[in-house]
């Protein structure tokens, strides 16, 4: 049952990530990987919210936790795309862009996660 819940959640998260990529292309965001950056930062914020809400405010089953975190959020975020996009910038000689992207991804992702956790604790 857990595997099925993670599978379904992952499908939902992946579909949402695809929607972010389509929206970014329609906005003309091609030179910098804005969609992946936004997706991963949003995913970090949502992960912080969910984990703190479930730890401090709500009691849910382990399968529900897996569906929400490993499934939906795990399917939504994408480390492999981040790594590939960073590598492509490096290989194209855009070291500054690669460094900026990597730094923003890590810094904003952690800030979003900790910010969401602090927000839940303050409620």
The annotated binding site for Na(+) is made up of 74, 77
Kindly state the DSSP code that residue 31 receives in the 8-state scheme: S
Q: Which residues are annotated as a binding site?
A: 74, 77
* DSSP-assigned states of every residue in 55-80: HHT----HHHHHIIIIIIIHHH--HH
Residue 109 vs residues 1, 46, 63, 105, 113: alpha-carbon distances, Å? 31, 11, 25, 6, 6
In the chain, % helix, strand, coil (3-state, to 5) comes to: 85, 0, 15
Distance CA 90, CA 107 (A): 19
């Amino acid at each position: 049952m857990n595997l099925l819940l993670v599978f379904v959640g992952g499908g939902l998260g992946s579909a949402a990530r695809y929607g972010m990529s389509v929206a970014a292309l329609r906005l003309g965001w091609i030179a910098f990987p804005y969609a992946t950056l936004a997706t991963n930062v949003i995913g970090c914020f949502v992960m912080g919210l969910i984990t703190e809400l479930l730890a401090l405010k709500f009691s849910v089953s382990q399968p529900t936790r897996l569906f929400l975190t490993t499934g939906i959020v795990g399917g939504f975020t994408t480390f492999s795309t981040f790594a590939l996009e960073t590598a492509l910038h490096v290989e194209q000689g855009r070291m500054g862009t690669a460094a900026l992207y990597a730094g923003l991804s890590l810094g904003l992702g952690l800030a979003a996660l900790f910010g969401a956790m602090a927000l839940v604790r303050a409620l």
